[in-house]
Chain A
Amino acid sequence: MQSPKVLIGQGAEAKIYACNFLGRPTIVKERFKKTYRHPSLDSTLTLARTKAEVRCMTRCRTHGIRTPVVYFVDMENHAIYMEHLVNWVTVKDFIIRFQAGDKSLLALLPLAEKIGGAVGLMHSHGLIHGDLTTSNMLLSGASEDFELVFIDFGLGSIEGSPEDKAVDLYVLEKALLSTHPSTEPVLEAILNSYFKVRAKDSKEVTRKLDEVRMRGRKRTMVG
């Protein structure tokens, strides 16, 4: 059974549709043509990005990190059909709602640990998400028994270097702290959990992370 696609979002790279595909609720991510580019270059680039996204998402699954199941990759239209996790909430919305209540931040620590552990596992296999914001993490289920899913690997890559990993962590850091005020303890818990994975390049990544932090806007990179 297929229902017509309903546009539910649009980013810089792609349009996101929801539909019913082969009897299942499905998300279709369709990258559009960038007419300012030379057509053959655009096609190559868009195809390469689509492939990289699918590869990254799928590799995560093989290592036990949950990502949406890919149902179909339409190379001709640069579209990825994947499972639609209906009724899951973004970690972003979860934290916002949480902070609107009056529970202590400590209650967010299990979530932080899970996030850190998952990103640590991803990085230990060389997988880089590329856009680790709280909007790109979904949550399901009740408070104790929740599951975490990573979405939008549009900027993802495989075989990441310590520098790539540090940048990935830095994006997460900035995204968390700017979207959710006063969540430094949450960030700390995420990073602790991340480094508990004890990957071979942990020291390298820590060093690079410090370096990357020094690079930001309005910062002088002096010693």
Chain B
Amino acid sequence: MVEVYHLPNDHDLSVNLFENVSNSEELKRMAITGEINAALLTPSMVLDEFQLLIAANKALHNFINQKLTTKTLHSELLFCLSPTRSISAAFQKFGLQNNDKEVLIVEIHPKDQGILSELQTKVSGKSIPLSSLKNYTDTDSIKKTYKITDAELKMGSLLDAVVTRISTKDLVSF
């Protein structure tokens, strides 16, 4: 099912989680050609929808201010999620890989103009509620990728630490 969250500037974020996916490679190809105009993420690196919202807000802001680092709004979303400045590393870590069996499809769109429900037919897999995300989240991988310290986890949550890195990436080196 598609879950929708509000973003600033009259935009929304639509999210759909799938499991038992058998056509990941095909989906990736469709994203490259533009047949799928959304971001294809690996759920293992996503902790919570708030992490997506923080990254999406930044990507949208960059897009509106013509300050994109990558070529499209959705590739920017993927890039914003990543703690590094390397675009290819972002795609490697956060993007859908060819033999992934789960995919998180995320779309940033003007209010009430989402097309994720139409995209569902393109996915050979089962759409599940976002609340099942925790079954696929790899917290160890997240801690390692975002370089989160134990000191930080003592006074804040993992999500707090992840959000901090996404929002301050351009200003602070971790």
A interface, CB within 8 angstroms of B: 1-2, 21-24, 51, 54-55, 58-59, 61-66, 69-74, 76, 81, 147
Q: Which of B4-12, B35-43, B99-107 contacts A (4 or more CB under 8 A)?
A: B4-12
Cβ < 8 Å to A, chain B residues 33-67: 50, 53-54, 57-58, 61, 65
> Are B6 and A61 in contact (CB-based, < 8 A)?
no
Residues A54 and B57 in contact in the complex (CB < 8 Å), given A61-B161, A62-B149, A76-B65? no
Q: Is B167 an interface residue, CB under 8 A from the partner?
A: yes
Residues of A within 8 A of B50 (CB): 22-24
Residues of B within 8 A of A24 (CB): 50
Q: Nearest CB to that of B54 among chain A residues?
A: A71
Contact for B174 among A62, A71, A73, A147, CB less than 8 A: A62
The interface residues of chain B, by DSSP majority, are classed as helix
Residues of B within 8 A of A1 (CB): 6
Residues of B within 8 A of A70 (CB): 163-164, 167-168
Size band of the interface chain B makes with A: 20 to 34
Residues of B within 8 A of A64 (CB): 149, 151-152, 154-155
How many angstroms from the CA of A63 to the CA of B43 in the assembled complex?
29
Residues A55 and B160 in contact in the complex (CB < 8 Å), given A1-B6, A22-B50, A61-B152? no
> Are B61 and A54 in contact (CB-based, < 8 A)?
no
Residues A22 and B151 in contact in the complex (CB < 8 Å), given A70-B167, A71-B167? no
**Min C-beta distance of A171 to chain B, whole Å:** 24
> Are A69 and B6 in contact (CB-based, < 8 A)?
no
How many angstroms from the CA of A66 to the CA of B160 in the assembled complex?
11
How many angstroms from the CA of A72 to the CA of B53 in the assembled complex?
11
Residues A72 and B57 in contact in the complex (CB < 8 Å), given A1-B6, A61-B164? yes
Report, nearest first, the 8 A-B pairs whose CB atoms are least far apart.
Answer: A64-B151, A22-B53, A66-B155, A69-B160, A70-B167, A1-B6, A58-B172, A58-B168
> Are B7 and A22 in contact (CB-based, < 8 A)?
yes
Q: Nearest CB to that of B147 among chain A residues?
A: A62
**Min C-beta distance of B25 to chain A, whole Å:** 33
B interface, CB within 8 angstroms of A: 5-8, 50, 53-54, 57-58, 61, 65, 149, 151-152, 154-156, 160-161, 163-164, 167-168, 170-172, 174
How many angstroms from the CA of A64 to the CA of B149 in the assembled complex?
9
Q: Nearest CB to that of A83 among chain B residues?
A: B160
How many angstroms from the CA of A21 to the CA of B5 in the assembled complex?
11
> Are A23 and B155 in contact (CB-based, < 8 A)?
no
**Min C-beta distance of B141 to chain A, whole Å:** 19
Residues of B within 8 A of A147 (CB): 155
**Min C-beta distance of A78 to chain B, whole Å:** 13
Q: Nearest CB to that of B153 among chain A residues?
A: A64
> Are B168 and A73 in contact (CB-based, < 8 A)?
yes
What are 21 A-B interface contacts by the 8 Å CB criterion? A2-B8, A21-B8, A22-B53, A22-B57, A23-B53, A51-B171, A54-B172, A55-B172, A61-B152, A61-B164, A62-B174, A63-B149, A64-B154, A66-B156, A70-B167, A70-B168, A71-B167, A72-B167, A76-B61, A81-B167, A147-B155
> Are B156 and A2 in contact (CB-based, < 8 A)?
no
How many angstroms from the CA of A1 to the CA of B168 in the assembled complex?
22
